[in-house]
Amino acid sequence: MKKFLLTGLIALCLVPVSTGKPAYKNPRLPEEKRVEDLLSRMTLAEKVMQLNQYTLGRNDNVNNIGEVVGKLPAELGSVIYFGSDPVLRNAMQKRAMEESRLGIPLIFGYDDIHGFKTVYQISLGQACSWNPALVEKMCAHSAREARRSGIDWTFSPMIDVARDPRWGRVAEGYGEDPYVNGVFGAASVRGYQGAGLRSLDAVAACLKHYVGYGASEAGRDYVYTEISRPTLWNVYLYPYKMCVDAGAVSLMSSFNDISGVPGSANHYTLSEVLRDAWGFDGLVVSDWDAVRQLINQGYCKDLEEASEAAITAGVDMDMMSHGYDTYLGDLVGSGKVPLSVVDEAVRRVLRVKFRLGLFENPYTPEEAPEKRFFLPEALETASQLAAESMVLLKNDGVLPVKDVSRIAVVGPLANNRLDLLGNWKAHGEAADADAFLSGIEREFPSAEVRYEEGCNVRGEGDFSAAVELARWSDVVVLCLGEMLNWSGENTSRSSIALPAGQERLLEALKAAGKPVVVTLTNGRPLELNRIEPLANAILETWQPGINGAGALAGILSGRINPSGKLAITFPWSTGQIPIYYNRHKSGRRGTQGIYKDITSDPLYPFGHGLSYTTFEYGEPVCVGAPSLGAPFKVEVKVTNTGAADGLETVLWYISDPYCRVVTRPEKELKYFEKKLIKAGASETFVFEVDPARDLGYLDGAGRYFVEAGEYHIFVGDKDIKLQL
């Protein structure tokens, strides 16, 4: 009797107390129960509306709040919100909560890519820091600014492996290597979502652009991509798997046609791989207008057919094509799209809304901008990330600059704040950024610093005053580079050289006979073969965000020892593209298969980056007896043989030289680690090799295999051969 009473009591405690509200409104019920309850109450029309994302345009703001909100269907699924003011967001949300029958909150998305208001280094530069923990921190700060400004969901990170620097979107990802994209993408996901999706310090991440978008032919945006299945699995899907495993709750389907089936209608990638093989239960949104573009791509004859193709492939939400809202109801009515397909898509949308806690907390607290933006820790992270991501490409000893009394600062990027912000600067403004010139003036208080622009970013201008200044100086700092909108979406270029006028400015300054330090600010690898011989030093700053100036000046003075290394190859010339380190082997080696007119080597390879100290790598050693059956360790001792403390990133590559299933790249990066090594000291770096993760490869069906035989592990200039 007593036992029954007790069990009854326990059971009572476990049964959720009825609140009198529908189950989906009860936060104590499990997510799936809430999803199913809500789904069961929805009409087809309500379901269809959840699957659309609209935007009301950039001009809509708090000043025309009534009109804006009036335009929104109360049952809509999502809005791309271009504002940074919670007041307007809240007014839109109020309409959804109070004027729709079931009170389903909107989810507000936005491209918070490398900073919302505090703008940080661009993603390509971030990868050159080899410091994913720092990128995680940056994304956490950025998430906080965004969520508190009304954004629940960021369309970031972009983890498209990109090997063609003519493609403007190389700026937005983490370079040419699948593993690097996976590691930094996963760090971003943890940064954005890590505080817990319900927290005001987190946003939902969206992996994009799924998949293969970086393979765009000839670097032209939006075009066809030819991707074999082994390459799809080992190069393009690889980082997505890592980031899905890191817990990303959404993905964006891509614009590109993947070998005949566009990314936004690709049942194989969206359903067979993502949903079935990987068990992903979150949401897939199309890229902007990508459903409609299925017509241009020659895959569907009209928007109705395109909507059918996209939803049945696994695109849950239609961003701005207005295909789902127009046709889905009828498509279900006519039986062309089963209701179960729509239900599954709605489930995925609702799940993310429940995970974000939007049903309980639909509104954003209306805090003043000073409470949200430019917090000291965010600014500190912006400085550190800028410092660690800059790459010293060349130095003949002119750097660090010592004992100079007259510094000439020249060039179109020297006193230019806007172009430091890079593409997708979100709510960042030029006025927020610190100009390189100001940083240099602060860094060298005992020197006289004078400035001349020389030419504008297009390379136009009269150089004479700049040349005069160079003659006066002890050293010239020449700040060259690109405009922020020369990279990013739809900014393909046939040549990746800087404008000829900028190169001529360098020639003219060099002729003045003074050492010239060139700094580069750009969103893609550049062709530097005319610049390299003239420059005494070259510092790649990328587009470092608002606090790049202190980092650049600190590197010039030696206060900061540069530690960035390239996460993407710099070709010697545009004609070598595509050129990347993890290429497949050639049938003829030595003198064949090479260019007859130019070198076949890149100017600066993947992993290149100089320091003010020198590091010596010892012989790597295997701890114990390695085998394919269990994880094992390889260690290397690295000694700082110079006079300055320095951060060193050790890159570990593997190679499987012979493979009968499918041939493999010459070498594949599998691990990296960055550590501070004091001058004269040594550090041991350890690569814990898990054969089940690090030594194998995927076949065309995505099956992982590891072959017995010879393997190599490369570290620094050393190679260890293993028979496993």
Q: Pick the closer one to ligand BGC by CB: 290 or 398.
A: 290
In terms of CB distance, is 47 or 169 closer to ligand BGC?
Answer: 169
Nearest residue to ligand BGC, scored by beta-carbon proximity: 155
Q: Is 287 a catalytic residue?
A: yes
Please say which residue, 179 or 213, places its beta carbon nearer to ligand BGC: 213
- Encoding tokens for residue 433? 């950024």
Minimum gap (Å) between residue 474 Cβ and ligand BGC: 46
Contacting residue, 114, 141, 208, 664, with ligand BGC by CB under 6 A: 208
User: How far apart are CB 255 and ligand BGC at their closest, in Å?
Assistant: 7
Residue whose structure tokens are 């000694």: 639
| Cα–Cα distance, 216 to 196 (Å, whole number) | 35
Tokens at 244, concatenated: 């899905």
Q: Give the residue with the Cβ less far from ligand BGC, 149 or 541.
A: 149
CB of 534 to ligand BGC, least distance (A): 37
Maximal CA-CA distance, the chain: 101
Q: DSSP letters of 538-557? A: EEE--S--TTHHHHHHHHHH
- Chain centroid to Cα 441, Å, comes to 32
Tell me how far, at minimum, the Cβ of 499 lies from ligand BGC, in Å: 27
210 and 274 Cβ atoms separated by less than 8 Å: yes
Binding mask 483-522 for ligand BGC (x = CB under 6 A): ------x---------------------------------
- Using CB under 6 A as the binding rule, whether residue 152 contacts ligand BGC is answered as no
Q: Among the options 60, 287, 432, 434, which is catalytic?
A: 287
d(CA 702, CA 705): 9
Q: What are 165's two structure tokens?
A: 């620097």
CB of 110 to ligand BGC, least distance (A): 8
Can you tell me which of 82, 238, 288, 632 binds ligand BGC, judged by CB under 6 A?
288
Helices (H), 194-302: 229-231, 237-245, 267, 293-296
User: Residue length, the chain?
Assistant: 724
Our CB check for ligand BGC shows the closer of 321 and 611 to be 321
Peptide bond into 578 cis (omega under 30): yes
Least distance between ligand BGC and beta carbon 709 (Å): 42
**Could you say which residues in the range 451-490 bind ligand BGC, by CB under 6 A?**
489
Q: Which of these, 611, 607, 603, 645, lies nearest to 399 by C-alpha position?
A: 611
Is the distance from CB of 619 to CB of 642 less than 8 angstroms? no
Provide the mask over 232-271, with x wherever binding to ligand BGC is found by CB under 6 A and - wherever it is not: ----------------------------------------
Map residues 213-232 to x or -, x wherever contact with ligand BGC holds by CB under 6 A: --------------------
CB of 489 to ligand BGC, least distance (A): 5
Size of the site for ligand BGC (CB under 6 A): 6
* Contacts (Cβ under 8 Å, ≥6 apart) of 15: none
Please tell me whether residue 704 adopts helix, strand or coil conformation: strand
What track of x and - describes contact with ligand BGC for positions 101 through 130 (by CB under 6 A)? ----------x-------------------
Cβ contacts of 472 within 8 Å, gap of 6 or more: 406, 408, 450
For ligand BGC, the binding residue among 81, 120, 155, 581 (CB under 6 A) is 155
User: How would you class 446 by CB atoms within 10 Å of its CB: exposed for 0-12, middle for 13-18, buried for 19 or more?
Assistant: exposed
Q: Specify the amino acid at residue 699.
A: D
Tell me which residues in 393-422 interact with ligand BGC (CB under 6 A).
Answer: none
Q: Which residue number, 155 or 606, has a Cβ lying nearer to ligand BGC?
A: 155
* Contact status, residue 709 vs residue 716, Cβ threshold 8 Å: no
CA distance 424 to 488: 8
Rounded-to-integer distance, Cα 422 and Cα 90, Å: 30
Nearer to ligand BGC among residue 60 and residue 287 (C-beta): 287
Instruction: Give me the least distance between CB of 318 and ligand BGC, in Å please.
Output: 13
Taking the complex as a whole, the smallest distance from the CB of residue 287 to ligand BGC amounts, in Å, to: 5
Categorise residue 488: left if φ over 0, alpha if ψ from -120 to 50, beta otherwise.
Answer: left
**Sign of the CA dihedral with 384 first, then 386, 388, and 394 last:** negative
Q: Which residues of 100-138 are buried (b: 16+ CB within 10 A; e: fewer)?
A: bebbbbbbbbbbbbbbbbbbbbbbbbbbbbbbbebbbbb
Q: Is 287 among the residues that bind ligand BGC (CB under 6 A)?
A: yes
Cα–Cα distance for residue pair 215/251, rounded to 1 Å:
18
317 close to 347: Cβ distance less than 8 angstroms: no
CB of 548 to ligand BGC, least distance (A): 24
Question: Which of 282, 646 has the CB closer to ligand BGC?
Answer: 282
718-723 and 710-715: which strand pairing?
antiparallel
- Residue closer to ligand BGC by CB (options 203, 537) is 203
For ligand BGC, what does the binding mask look like between residues 669 and 688, x meaning CB under 6 A? --------------------
148 lies in the site for ligand BGC, by CB under 6 A: no
DSSP result, 627-648: BTTB-EEEEEEEEE-SSS-EEE
Looking at beta carbons only, is 82 or 327 nearer to ligand BGC? 82
Under the rule (CB under 6 A), what is the footprint of ligand BGC? 111, 155, 208, 287-288, 489
Tell me which residues are annotated as active site.
Answer: 287
